[in-house]
Amino acid sequence: MDRRDFLKPLFATAGGLYFDVYGQVSSDSEVSRPIRKFGPKLKGRVILPNEAGFASLSYANNGRYRLDTPWAIAECLTAEDIRQSILWAREQGVPFAPRAGGHNFAGYSSTSGLLISLTNMKAIELDVKTGVITVSAGVQNRDLASFLRGGDWLLPSGTCPAVGVSGLVLGGGVGHNSRWGGLTADHLLSTTLVTAKGEQMVCSATQNADLFWACRGAAGRNFGIHSAFTFQLRRLPRSEILAFGFEFQGAEALTQALAACNKLNQNAPDTLSCAFICSSAPEHHVSGAVYGQYIGSKDDGLSILAPLMIAKPSDVYAEMLPWWRAQAYLTDEEGPSHKSYWSRNRLMREPLSDAAIALMVTQLVAFPHSSSQQADITFLYWLGGAVNRVAPRDTAFVHRNSQGIARFTANWAYNADASPPADVADWMAQVWDQSSSLLTANSYQNFPDPALQNWQQAYYGENLTRLMQIKKKYDSDNVFNFAQSIPLA
């Protein structure tokens, strides 16, 4: 009997189990004993299928992984809960995975075993004088934003409110404030994690410095489970900034706007940041939107952005907004995802060539769009500037000489098969193959792509060997092991 078979009866007879977890039934069956002993060791609780809280904590943002539900959830509230969970899962031979914000593109925070949920670890502590902040592992971008809103301090992070700070910082963390401020990971002062052996460890520039290096870019679930992160925040650079959005309709406008946006980004100051989202639409129509911020005056910002006007935007928004309102404008408000999606990305080292722009627009026009399947090709001009003033080997985040990320995303119905529909898969194969000579083979590790060949090089490049050595040192049994985890040296 393998460990799945061993656990199946445990969860199949859920009614009996609930009692076991809380110790109300004195069944000493082989399967019930371990989990009955485990539940009370947590300050949080063990949650079983059909119990309150199970559905929300096991919810997968990407519908592709909705069926990878755990057998049980350990709702952790403290570092000791994390330790107990790791030790219990290892002792029982149960597979496990940590989850914070649950936004991993490739389902790497899903497991059929024990889900070690950090989601309810929400503590935040700020020293307002120094701007040093410590957040617990379950804090999401939106928790941090509402904590900091109105104050003088900020942490450069991403645009999605529900993304967890844990996953974000461990893989880098890019957004509209990275070009002037740097990555989220560049602001990390220290982090506390529990290793596979149950040791609690602090990593910083002076303690376990090799692991600290690795934690800034390796991506989550590689060395241990982090309970908290301490960051040095930045002062707001300006109380009011320019927030803008330009919209374009049709292939011709999109082609012109992409060329203009690409060019203006080559010479733009670090204080300008934008993203260009190009979307499929019914009947092979396409549309696009450039949105972003400029930390400076409206006149200066609009003069930098003026080349976009050649593409005759269908709508323009450009307003000076107080800092926190501008950040809210740039936030991708999202409810629960109702999509299954597959996202692939290539880093942009050079400006996009005319051939690359033509390919992107042609491919988007060709997408088999319907009410249940859509695509977008997005250019995130969020690298360069301060990100590239750190050397590629100074942290595990190697992508220090790129200008942005080109991301191809196709989505389809949440409840459909995990594999993309055949016409979507064909489309993605074409975009991917044809873009190989026009963009780099490097990929952002925080947008993991389960189909990526040669992902080790694509995510880590010249830092791979060192990461493998650190993996061997801190997780020699390869306990933190999944499809794209860092291999042992």
Ligand X SMILES: Cc1cc2nc3c(=O)[nH]c(=O)nc-3n(C[C@H](O)[C@H](O)[C@H](O)COP(=O)(O)OP(=O)(O)OC[C@H]3O[C@@H](n4cnc5c(N)ncnc54)[C@H](O)[C@@H]3O)c2cc1C
Round to whole Å and give the CA distance between 335 and 59: 12
Q: What's the gap between Cα 355 and its chain centre?
A: 30
Report the residue number, 32 or 157, with the smaller CB distance to ligand X. Answer: 157
Smallest gap, in angstroms, from Cβ of residue 161 to ligand X?
9
Smallest gap, in angstroms, from Cβ of residue 220 to ligand X?
2
Name the site residues for ligand X (rule: CB under 6 A): 61, 97-105, 108-109, 118, 137, 158-160, 163-164, 166-168, 170-171, 173-175, 220-221, 225-226, 446-447
Smallest gap, in angstroms, from Cβ of residue 120 to ligand X?
12
A 10 A CB-CB count for 377 gives 26
SS3 321: strand
Smallest gap, in angstroms, from Cβ of residue 449 to ligand X?
12
Report the residue number, 196 or 259, with the smaller CB distance to ligand X. Answer: 196
Q: Of 294, 344, 85, 257, which is closest to residue 180 (Cα–Cα)? A: 294
Round to whole Å and give the CA distance between 273 and 327: 12
Angle, CA 225 vertex, CA 100 and CA 163 arms, to 5°: 20
Smallest gap, in angstroms, from Cβ of residue 78 to ligand X?
13
Report the residue number, 303 or 478, with the smaller CB distance to ligand X. Answer: 478
Report the residue number, 45 or 99, with the smaller CB distance to ligand X. Answer: 99
Smallest gap, in angstroms, from Cβ of residue 155 to ligand X?
12
Max CA separation in the chain (angstroms): 76
Smallest gap, in angstroms, from Cβ of residue 331 to ligand X?
9
Report the residue number, 158 or 313, with the smaller CB distance to ligand X. Answer: 158
Which are the contacts of 189, defined by CB distance < 8 A and separation ≥ 6?
A: 132, 204, 205, 230, 231, 232
Residue found by looking up tokens 């943002």 in the block:
61
Could you give the C-alpha distances from 431 to 11, 398, 409, in angstroms and in order? 43, 25, 10
Smallest gap, in angstroms, from Cβ of residue 186 to ligand X?
12
Angle, CA 108 vertex, CA 102 and CA 114 arms, to 5°: 80
Report the residue number, 345 or 373, with the smaller CB distance to ligand X. Answer: 345
Report the residue number, 79 or 257, with the smaller CB distance to ligand X. Answer: 79
Residue 281 CB-density burial (10 A; 0-12 exposed, 13-18 middle, 19+ buried): middle
Report the residue number, 31 or 168, with the smaller CB distance to ligand X. Answer: 168
Please list the residues that pair with 273 across neighbouring strands.
293
| C-beta of residue 71 within 8 angstroms of C-beta of residue 113 | yes
| C-beta of residue 452 within 8 angstroms of C-beta of residue 443 | yes
Q: Of 377, 340, 350, 382, which is closest to residue 361 (Cα–Cα)? A: 377
